[in-house]
Structure formats: structure tokens, C-alpha cells
A and B are shown apart, each in its own frame.
Chain A
């Protein structure tokens, strides 16, 4: 390995033009300046007051902003320059699968034959869309080992709640009243929040010293009032739940269902399927595993696939092949709609294009290389940032900065912030909650070995700084558009709009 690797994920060369703040759109506004241009329609320009009763008209003008097109472009381009992204550099944010988003899928999303179709169009006039949905559903079922899926949930958390409502519908159909859902202590926060909204109580299952579900304690927590368990596998520490078949048997033995949180599906594509592990309900995060870009926080898509005994409860309507055509069909005991229309359709189309380009062979390689990269990084960093659980991990590795904290008073957060100065996005910090000073790195399969080496060297320099000048790490980052922000002040005096009282 060379000392200064070249390709391709380190963004430290990205030019930033200065350190002043960008004015808001409202500060740029000048009365009667405008950018918009509309069609010439020839429609009679009747006065609004002659069309709509006066008591509905707003006596005041709602101010938007009044800017020229040139200033609009300058403003949002400069904002974009104040934003880190996957396209700019490596984004090893654990649990988020920030892999490269192929531009080809952007082109699919921008196809007017797809994105100019109204969602209320009858099936006969939107057969292409229905075929996309049917095809994607089949392929997601092949990947997960399930029978059928709903594509309506707009994000992972929406998928979780949908899954819990399916769980509830299934038990109720059996005349079975159940009260609790089990969740490991390492779970994502969305899991317990979804359980509450699904009308269940959370029972937390502790992890054992290997970072896995404690099977004996799980068995103690089980009972006839348990509706099911929500598991992420590999779990949020990045480790495979090796006793999954025993867990599945124990939960099924009390009549409970197994819910698979697909946040970490990228690790197991082509290697093992949730259905084969015994899961009954599976959600997928298409914005993670299937590379639909995350958009600064969304949109995502969270399809939910199920085992045969749950198919009749799926949300409807579902695009379905009937003879030679595609139609909307609502399952007989459907829980109902979970989205205003058909889900985040364009995100679904992107995911299908991604799956088609990769195929079964490519998706398998995705998982293999993701796991290879995570293990390479874990091993490469073992001397400076040891893994919380030192053995083969899956697609991400959870490291701990407890040593740096004890020796130099430097915390995981300081390391994460210093990494920004080095041209890399931070890893996930302080999650999962069961690991002290956690730094969770998920390199993904799309980063080269040179980029990984370059990340490792950056971390070595940070550890050297911890030794030489720990104070400087508490002040990091300094090279970014802003330095550490005053979060307490933001919460104490909420300024959520430009009009808020200051």
C-alpha cells in the first residue's frame, strides 16, 4: 500500500470560497423582481373577485421572495457548495449505506414517460407503471425469500409501522390478543417508536457479551402475549445473529412473528435471505441497499415483503398481473392504504433499474465487497480504534474510542469532527447505544481500497493529534463552512423561520 493513495473518496481538495454565511432567500428579495415565466393561455382573465366569494379571498399578500433567476441560481448553487454528499466524497456513515448512486438511475427517474404520469390514471392507461411495480415486487421477494410485498411505505419507519399493523391484523384474525413486541437493546430508535404506534408495548431484550441477542434472556421474555420480535440481521453493531434459527423457533413456538428490519440488507444480498432465516415480515430501505439517493434526508422507500400466511392482509391496492394485463387488486383482508397513492413510485423505479443492472450475480458481489471493505477497515484500524467486538463483521464495523478518551480526553465525537477536516464524512457516532464511544463505519462496496487506506491514514493523523494537541480536536472542524454549532441555543430559543421573534 502506497503512503499517499490517490483514488477517489477523499474530498479534502474541495474548494470552499470563504467563511461568511449565505444570506437567506428573503434577505435577497427586492420588491417586484421576478424570475417566473408562464404559458400564454388565452384563457379569459376574469377578476378573481368575480369567480370566488370575497370572504374566501386573503386580504393580505403572502410574501414569498422576489429574486431574479440569476440570483436564485447563485443562491442555491452556493448552498450546494456548503453541503457534503456521496458524489463529493466518502460517506462512511454506519447504518446508512451511503453507497454511490448511479447516474443511470437518475436518468430513469427523469424519464417523462414515467414521471409525468398522474397517480389517479386508470390502470389501462398506465400499464408501464403497473408492470414496474409488479416486476420490482417479484425481484424484492426473490432477494428476501418472501411471497409478496407492498410497495406503498414511503420510508423504513413507515415500513416498520406497516409491518406491525400486519402483525396485529394476523393475530386478530386468529382471535388472538397480544400485547408486547420484543426489541433488542441495540435496535434503531424507529423500532420502539413504531411499536408504540402499532398499539403494542416494547419489551427490551439485552445483548450478550458478543454483541448478539442473549438467547436465554430472550426465552425468558417470551410468552403467549408476545406478538413478535423486531430484529436487524446483521444487527446494528454490524454482526450476524448466529443463533437466528434458535431465535426464530423460540418466537414461533409462542405463536409470535419475526419482523426483519432491512436497514442492513446490503450485507447479505445473495448470501442469506430473511425468509430462509424464519422471518415473516421484512422491510427494505431502497435508499440504502438499492442505491436510491437519500436526498438530504429523504425520499426513501420502505417496501414490506411477507410470508404466505400474511399476504391476504397486505395494504392495497396492489399492482397485480391478471392474465395478460396489469390491474389494481386489494387483498381480501387488507389493512388498507398506508400512503396517499402508490408509494414513492419514482424511487421504486430507480431501485428496479439498479437491480436490473446488477442482476443476481451483481447483487451478490455487492454484499461480498461491502463485507470485505468493512472487515479490511476494521483490521486496518485495529491498533488505533479497536472494534467493540473483535471478530469478522458484516457490512459495517463498530469501533470504540474509549482508549483515546481514557488516555487523551478525546471523545468519539472529536474524532468524527476531525475527520471532516480530513475530507471524509464522519462515521455514525454514539450508536448503537450499547457500545461506549461508538464510531460506526460503513464503507460500502463502492469505495476503493485506496480510499479505505486514505481514510485509515486520516484517522492515524487524528490519533497523532490526540496525543500531541488534544485541545485542537475539541475545536475541530475549522476548515468547514461553519465550526461546531450551538445546539443548546437552537433548542432554547427556537428560530424555525425567518419570521420568528429573535
Chain B
């Protein structure tokens, strides 16, 4: 005899359950995954409506719409200082923030591997929700697909975000001019080395923690302190590190750069870990740092604004843009000599020699 109450659906076993192909099939299982996991965690009216898309309010007067997207395939999925979930929120929020926009809404699409533990997925989703709330954004729509075991790395997440760019703000990679001051919001290399430490064959023990963070608050603090047109370029130096970001800007803007190595903040542990593995910290990824190219007459105020914000406490002036038809990024070493900081050639790999 059927003693199950009508309308009863057994909840997902978030402790011991695993992702199976049914979750991506579009049927009841998928709806259940969405409502019990995603919608519960992200908790907003848009998701509650369970429509195929989210109808968003119009922007304010003079604001322009900005969109950005980021796919996340980080391995390992969990690392000191974050996980793929928080990273996916911060990554897209930061892409919007460095456009000068206020990040507003995110779409999140998941590709899950069959067999992935639901408990870990729940951790990731909760982490995303926490990161989104802290950044002041909402995950308003999403998608889920499941691939067969062996065809995915546990979880891949793509986030797409939209934000509102207030009138007057127009930072861009091509806007730097000779004389502009280069500011950096804090220590380089934390994220990349936190990930490296987890790699089995490189394993080392340290207190290095990923700097993964949402930068929109820091960017707003900057714009509150200086005129919008003084903020020429905003970037977050992710893959390829500070060196790659500065080379990109130099090329786009048609300028050179001169940096002061002694002024670039780096933690002693990141420095030591790089020495141990033969890596150059200038090329190591960051996930919570801001690079600003600022008009020189407002550089002091900009730096002060960054330093007053928790994410910018160690902000520093690290150099300046120059007139250089070769667009070289040069650095004065702590030792006293000069050298170039070139584009990264291929992936940075630990060296023996």
C-alpha cells in the first residue's frame, strides 16, 4: 500500500548524494536541484519565479549597461582562501568593477560531472551565495548541465554579470598617458601560490591564502575621492599576473612603463615560495587586486582612498607610464639595475635551472 503522502518529494541527500545524469535532464530531478540547492542559497525573487529568464529593472538616468563573463575551471576546487564558487562571483564582479560599473546581477551556469558529491556542491553554492551577498549582487538566473563521469573536472562554472556604468566614468586600457601614476592595491602572488601549494608534486606548507575578493567597494571608494576622468585605467591582474596586465595596458595605450621593484608589495611567504619553485611573482595570478593608472595630479588622493579601504590597506605607488614607442615595461630592481618585464612566454612553469 502506498503510504507516501501526496505531493511529498524526498529531499536531496546533500550529505551523501552525488550528481547523476538526471540532474541535468530537465526533469523533476533538475527542478529539485535548482530549488533545493541553488534557489535556496541565492534566495531572491528572480529565482523564486522559476522562469527561463530574469526581467530586470531599467537603469538609472545616464547610466550605461555593462556586461562581462568569466568561465571558471580552477583546480583544486577548494583552496585556502576560497573555492570555485566564490572565485566565480568575484571574477565577474571584478570584470564589471574595473569597467567602472556598479555590478548588479549575475547569471551562473554549472557544468557538473556525474558522481560529484552533492555535499561539496552545496559548499560551493553556499560560498557563491555568501560572496554575492557581500558584493551586493544577485544571482538571478542560471543553468545546469551534467556530463558523464570523466568528462568534467567535478564542477565548471561560468558567470555572466551585468552592471550599471554611471555617466562620466570611462576607464579603459587605451586611456593611459605618459606621466600617469601606476597604483597597486596590495600584495601580489597570493592566489597563484595558494593554488600551487595544493599541487601534489609541488606541495609545500605555508600560510599563503588566496586573495580572492570583490573589488567593487574599493573601486567606488576610488571614484569617491578623485574626478572620474582622472581614473584612466582600471584592471585586475589575474592570469599572467601584474606583468601581463601592465604589458597589455602599455600596448593598448601606446605607452611604456617604469616600475620600482622595491615598491611592489609581496608577502615574505609568497616571495619564498616563488624562490623555491623558480617562479617570478610578477607573473603569478591574483584574484583580489586592483591596478590603477591615475592622472598624476590626483595620484595622492587616489592612493589615500585605496589605503583607507580594507582591501587596499597595502596599496602602493609602483611606477609611472612613460613615452616609449616600443611600449616596454621596465623595472628598476631593488639591486639597482634595470631590466624589462616582458609578456609571459607560455605558461609559467617551475624551473630547475
- A and B interact physically: no
